[in-house]
Structure 1
Amino acid sequence: MNLLYSNDRRGEFPPSWYAATAHQAERCAPLRGEVRADVCVVGGGYTGLSAALHLAEAGFDVVLVEAHRAGFGASGRNGGQLGSAQRMDQEDLERLVGDADAARLWDLAEDAKALVKDLIARHAIDCDLKPGVATLGLSDGERRELHAHAAHLADRYEYDQIELLGAAQGHSLCPSPAYKGGYLDMGAAHLHPLNYALGLARAARAAGVRIFEETEVHHIEERTPATVRTDKGRVIAAHVILACNGYLSSLNRKVAARVMPINNFIAATEPLGDETAKVLTRDVAVADTKFVVNYFRLSADKRLLFGGGESYGYRFPADIAAKVRKPMAEIFPHLRDVKIDYAWGGTLGITMRRMPYLARVAPNILSASGYSGHGVGTATHAGQLMALAIQGQAEGFDTFSRVPALPFPGGPALRSPLLVLAMTWYALRDRLGV
């Protein structure tokens, strides 16, 4: 079964609150016949749009092909959090790759946040960018661990954007009975993810990128130049960038072995009005310490946008609203019966260690994916890093490619069942608080 069409209509954004409030998007024609370019980018999310934009600004002739619409995938339907650091904690990275590369990865993560903010400012992208992401724990022990982590970032990396939250301070920010404090990172931010993606697409087109939508890639001939074959045409290009994340399917076996698609879900309640003070007292985003993380924030029209719950098959559940309502009610019991106006799912890519997988899969083919829920900044930055690598400046790309990337065990036939078993175990730990 093809993930591109398992849950979505061809060429249409999902019926999310983001789509309902998105700026008007120009529809680009499908590719028909043969075109030539310096670079062919496959995938129109943050990674592909950023790579295409940076390459075009550097003078390259770029073609971008997208099976649906630019911003269609996880880039247009995620939680909208621009987080700090890498998806893997710095302490774990230090143990995995050593202090030197861990420090480089910290700097690259800071570059990612700065890049997103710069792109938004430079291209006048209207996407409600606002500072502040809180991380909250569900026990006193988790609060202490979060405070120790913040202290490590301050001592080792001189990061001074974090405000520690004790139990009372955390409850003052987020009046949920579930949380016991944590920290608020004012160097992180949140935004409207689809409007950000659409802004990147407009900027890319203005820079000269030729974008072809509703153009599915079926096969890539790995030679020089490469040939990217689509349903009704082909692109011949000196370089190819794979920016497909969870939708890569069989285009490259090496990447597919290390990046697994999973589904995550978000609901938008009816506008809460004055009741927002019972959810958040500041306009910041929140993520918690559960392995299957809950994340939420308030929309511009005072809805709760709440993300929670995952699935590991091809199909989304029949009742997405019910899927999200369960964890939402655990965090906010008073919203147990609140009306849900929108509920949608998205497919993202994860890796074994939750670090992005950047690789040179052929001499003239680069790939970046597997952002594991940390993609707003990391994916945008990965696109820029691949653009720089094509220009011969590969230091940042090579730093990521040195991070050991384990294949999922069992191959395509067994990796999903094994992941379900692992996630079931972690979900049980979440419920037991261990």
Structure 2
Amino acid sequence: MFGSTLLKRDFSLTQHSFYEASVVRPPVNAPLAGRVKVDVCVVGAGLAGLSAALELRARGLSVAVLEARAAGWGASGRNGGQVIVGFANDEEIGAQLGAEDARQAWRISVDGLDLLQRRIADHGIDCDYSPGYLHLAVNARKGRALAESAEHLAHRYGYRMQTVGARDIGDWIASERFHSGVFDSQSGHLHPLKYCLGLARAAQAAGVLIYEQSPVSGIERGAQPVVRTAHGEVACDFVVLAGNVYLNEFGTAVAPGIGDRIMPVGTYIIATEAMAPERAAALVRQRAAVCDNNFALDYFRPTADHRVLFGGRASYGGATPINLAASMRRRMLAVFPQLADLAVPYAWGGFVDITMNRAPDFGRVDKNVYYLQGFSGHGLALTGMAGKLAADAIAGQAGGFDLLARLRHRRFPGGAALRTPSLVLGMLYHRMRDLL
């Protein structure tokens, strides 16, 4: 897709991550060496891959996970931490699947919230989970669209959120930027790297073999696939590809035919220094996660140690913004000018995978090679369900997986050379609309 340059850019973005600074990683697992035989080989030790591994072990299958860097190194350990119900494009789900199957897909999404909380409880994962999500509009037009969307979810799926009108918005957020919003008590936010590392610990405790620093160089397909790295190979009956934008980043097309259905999009985050607890609590009611409904959106939330974590400024051309911390701080101060006295010691970013229609892309390359990608910014809850659905399908219960696999996806036009410029032009159009 972009060759090793994506990894090089991405590696530079991890250096000042608040998440990495606030965890103690376990020793790196040894890379794969020699030949291993298991029932299932999972490629990628992020949220989707580790979820699949946990679920497969619960069904009695032996599992090996191959990770090119370290568990949680990609988007799973760097994202905004917002655990949000639904999909990035619910309208697309309804249009393609029809009313009844769209309701089933929505239930899968809601089940993803429950699954995440069960895993936190069952495996004792300390990841700073906090309930509450506030979705906000910056003007009356966008406020009407947000209210209509909430009404649609209540009518179509029975999922109800609290409407926050223009008169009451000041009771919910200490900012003059926003016009109105809706509050979802079932969604929430957490420390994604702590959660991902907790899943890795749980998977290893369940008997999953995790090999780090083990990029996949190729897959020999057939009745019993063989997944190869530079120094070893895994013979298996099934493969689950959960590497998203990184699958083809080491010079070999591990999964030809699916890479051009997703686009790596850079997103960037800062974290302020810690402040007094009461000051942090006064910014957002119930300490909820917050996101606006612009196409080029901002998202932010308080952390457990009373910082503001603020993200946005998506990059569709692959280049990291110049003076990242300063530019993101300006965006934050446009929302919370009262934070001007706080330093910003952390600024980082990473690449999420989006599809053309922003619907998830699950499917099979062969009958025994599954892939999970295209979470389009809604991955924290949906990745968990993706792993579970893949495990269900491998175990013979493919109904949920096949439902979402029915979603059709177009390839980004022009191949790697033209895909990015085309997308940039499209995003510029939507940014212009955000200003209206």
Q: For the superposition of Structure 1 and Structure 2, which TM-score range results when normalised by the shorter chain? A: over 0.9
**Deviates further, 78-87 or 275-284:** 275-284
CA distance in 1, matches of 2:27, 2:360: 30
Deviation at 1:150, TM superposition (A): 1.7
For residues 27-42 of structure 1, what are the structure 2 equivalents within 5 Å?
27-42=28-43
CA distance in 1, matches of 2:261, 2:420: 12
Deviation at 1:307, TM superposition (A): 0.5
1:354 aligns with 2:358: yes
Report what 1:247 is aligned to: 246
Q: 1:158 to 1:281 in 2, by over 3 A?
A: closer
1:345 aligns with 2:336: no
Letter in 2 for 1:123: H
The percent of aligned pairs where both chains have the same amino acid is 43
1:7 match: secondary structure? helix
1:322 aligns with 2:323: no
Report what 1:298 is aligned to: 302
CA distance in 1, matches of 2:25, 2:48: 21
For residues 205-224 of structure 1, what are the structure 2 equivalents within 5 Å?
205-224=204-223
Deviation at 1:35, TM superposition (A): 1.3
- Give CA-to-partner distance per residue, 1:296-354, whole Å, 9 cap, x none: 00111211100111223445345321342232232223435641110001111100111
Report what 2:144 is aligned to: 144
Report what 1:77 is aligned to: 78
For residues 100-249 of structure 1, what are the structure 2 equivalents within 5 Å?
100-160=100-160, 162-249=161-248
Report what 2:376 is aligned to: 372
Q: For the Cα contact (< 8 Å) 2:316–2:427, is it kept in 1?
A: no
Q: For the Cα contact (< 8 Å) 2:10–2:351, is it kept in 1?
A: no
Report what 1:406 is aligned to: 410
2:258 match: secondary structure? helix
* Structure 1 residue runs without a partner (length 5+): none
Deviation at 1:158, TM superposition (A): 1.8
Cα RMSD for the two superposed structures = 1.8
Equivalent of residue 433 in structure 2, options 426, 429, 433: 429
Q: For the Cα contact (< 8 Å) 2:281–2:287, is it kept in 1?
A: no
CA distance in 2, matches of 1:277, 1:203: 32
Report what 1:18 is aligned to: 19
**Deviates further, 285-294 or 313-322:** 313-322
1:34 match: secondary structure? strand
CA distance in 1, matches of 2:410, 2:51: 26
Q: For the Cα contact (< 8 Å) 1:239–1:365, is it kept in 2?
A: yes
Deviation at 1:256, TM superposition (A): 0.5
1:253 match: secondary structure? coil
Letter in 1 for 2:21: A
Structure 2 length normalisation: TM-score?
0.94
CA distance in 2, matches of 1:196, 1:389: 25
CA distance in 2, matches of 1:46, 1:323: 30
Q: For the Cα contact (< 8 Å) 1:268–1:306, is it kept in 2?
A: yes
**Deviates further, 148-157 or 182-191:** 148-157
CA distance in 1, matches of 2:167, 2:289: 18
- Give CA-to-partner distance per residue, 1:162-216, whole Å, 9 cap, x none: 1110123222211211101111100111111001001100110011000000111
2:45 match: secondary structure? coil
Q: 1:316 to 1:231 in 2, by over 3 A?
A: farther
Report what 1:257 is aligned to: 260
**Deviates further, 148-157 or 49-58:** 148-157
Q: For the Cα contact (< 8 Å) 1:23–1:195, is it kept in 2?
A: no
- Give CA-to-partner distance per residue, 1:235-258, whole Å, 9 cap, x none: 111111100112122321221121
Q: For the Cα contact (< 8 Å) 2:42–2:63, is it kept in 1?
A: yes
**Deviates further, 100-109 or 334-343:** 334-343
Deviation at 1:27, TM superposition (A): 2.1
Letter in 2 for 1:207: A
Q: 1:360 to 1:120 in 2, by over 3 A?
A: same
CA distance in 2, matches of 1:114, 1:425: 37
Deviation at 1:98, TM superposition (A): 1.3
Q: For the Cα contact (< 8 Å) 2:43–2:65, is it kept in 1?
A: yes
Deviation at 1:143, TM superposition (A): 1.7
Deviation at 1:230, TM superposition (A): 0.9
Q: For the Cα contact (< 8 Å) 2:18–2:346, is it kept in 1?
A: yes
Deviation at 1:288, TM superposition (A): 0.4
1:132 match: secondary structure? strand
- Give CA-to-partner distance per residue, 1:80-119, whole Å, 9 cap, x none: 1111122213x44323321122111111111111111111
Q: For the Cα contact (< 8 Å) 1:51–1:386, is it kept in 2?
A: yes
CA distance in 1, matches of 2:367, 2:287: 46
Structure 1 length normalisation: TM-score?
0.94
Q: For the Cα contact (< 8 Å) 1:172–1:281, is it kept in 2?
A: yes
2:285 match: secondary structure? coil
CA distance in 1, matches of 2:296, 2:61: 41
2:174 match: secondary structure? coil
